[in-house]
Each structure stands twice: as C-alpha cells, then as structure tokens.
Amino acid sequence: MNFIFLGPQASGKGTQAILLSKKLSTPHISTGDIFREAIKKGDELGKTLQSYIEAGNLVPDDLTNKTIEKRLRENDIKNGFILDGFPRTIDQAEFLDKIIQINKVIDIQISDKEAVHRISSRRSCACGKTYNLLYNPPKKENICDLCGAELFVRSDDKPESVKIRLETYHQKTKPLVDYYKEKNILITIDGERPIETIYEDIINKISK
C-alpha cells in the first residue's frame, strides 16, 4: 500500500510515519530529510532550498516534484511507501497522481494554537542535537546534554516563521484534504493525543 501523511508542522506526522514504516517494512520518504541532505551538501541546489525553507516558504513545485519523481523511481518502493511532507499543494498532488497510485491518505489534525505551542518549545544546539521543552528537555536549563553549549531557537522555529508556515499550510495544503476526501481515501486522525493512542487509531483505521 502507498500512503501519504498530511498535517501541519509539529502535528507528529513524521513520528507516526516512521512508526508505520517500521511496522510495514516500507520506506519512509520525507521531503524534509531529502532537502536537509541537499542543504548539508551545500551545493547550488542546497543553497536554493535553504533560502526557501529558512524564510518559512514552500519549496517551489517543479523542484519538489522532480526530487520526488527521482526518489519514486528507486526499487525499494515496490511493496509500498510512506510519503511525509509531499504533496503540499494541489499541483503536487496532481503530479503525483500521474506517476503513481496512492491508496490511503492519513490526515493528522492539531489546532494552530497547539502547533505554535509545540514549535516554540523547540531548542537546538550547534552540535546538531535538538530538544523540546515539552517532551525531551535538556537536563540543565538551556544547556546541551551532549556538548555543554548554549541552546538556541532555530530561525524557522521562531514565531514569525511558524506563523508564515501555518498560513501557507492553510492556504496551500489544507485543500488537499478535500482533494483526497473526494477520492474516498482520506483518514482523519485527532493529533492532540498521546503518540501510542494515535498510532493504534491509525493501525485500526487503515486495516478497515
């Protein structure tokens, strides 16, 4: 089966996508991971991607579509896959429909207020370690457990950037909910519950 996970930033969709990917032994394809990998390389593509992401904007459709098309040509997706972070616009969804069939779309819903609360609780360290004051705070206040450096709020976790991302989500990604509802493949999940409860709910609903 081929799955898509939908949901705003901090909805926990990445966590759930990874859990499902382990259970089904199918690849978890995250555009965020693919983009971060490219940014780390620091080449022309990486720099272009970084400029969009840091401003809280979506990476343009043609760039994202090309990246995903290339990934979906690999052999490991034969028995299914889980897409996380794609599609994010109707144009991307239509592009995807042309290259492959999607069986289920899992929409994890949280309120804007909850999203802002979760994201503004994130802290990062220059060494790469990340924390969330709500779920995994550092042992000493504002100090990295691993390297002892002072923690900071990443530029795309700052309220201005989060607000832009949520606005973009409502404008461009929310219409996908109706798009997949019309195709009768949408599953709606309440994301404001414990991780295990959400996971069980997903397993229940996809096996129906």
The answer to whether 88 is a known catalytic residue is yes
Spatial distance between the Cα atoms of 175 and 172, rounded to a whole number of angstroms: 6
Binding part of the chain for Zn ion, among 54-62, 126-134, 165-173, 189-197 by CB under 5 A, reads 126-134
Instruction: Name the 3-class secondary structure at 89.
Output: coil
The answer to whether 122 is a known catalytic residue is yes
User: Tokens 């819903």 map to which residue?
Assistant: 109
User: Looking at residue 147, what DSSP letter applies?
Assistant: T
The answer to whether 193 is a known catalytic residue is no
The answer to whether 118 is a known catalytic residue is no
Of 144, 162, 166, 187, which lies in the binding site for Zn ion, with binding defined by CB under 5 A? 144
Catalytic residue among 154, 158, 163, 183: 154
The H or E element spanning position 162 is helix 159-168
Is 71 a residue that touches Zn ion (CB under 5 A)? no
The CA distances from residue 148 to 31, 62, 123, 131, 132, in Å, are 31, 42, 14, 13, 16
Is 100 a residue that touches Zn ion (CB under 5 A)? no
**Residues β-bridged to residue 108:** 189
CB of 39 or CB of 143, closer to Zn ion: 143
Q: 106-125 mask for Zn ion (x: CB under 5 A)?
A: -------------------x
**Residues β-bridged to residue 124:** 130, 152
Instruction: Name the 3-class secondary structure at 30.
Output: strand
Least spacing, CB of residue 127 vs Zn ion, in Å:
3
Catalytic residue among 13, 40, 78, 205: 13
Binding part of the chain for Zn ion, among 2-10, 29-37, 76-84, 149-157 by CB under 5 A, reads 149-157
Helix, strand, coil percentages for the chain (3-state, nearest 5):
50, 15, 35
Is 134 a residue that touches Zn ion (CB under 5 A)? no
Active site residues: 13, 88, 122, 154, 165
Contact footprint for Zn ion (CB under 5 A): 125, 127, 129, 144, 146-147, 149
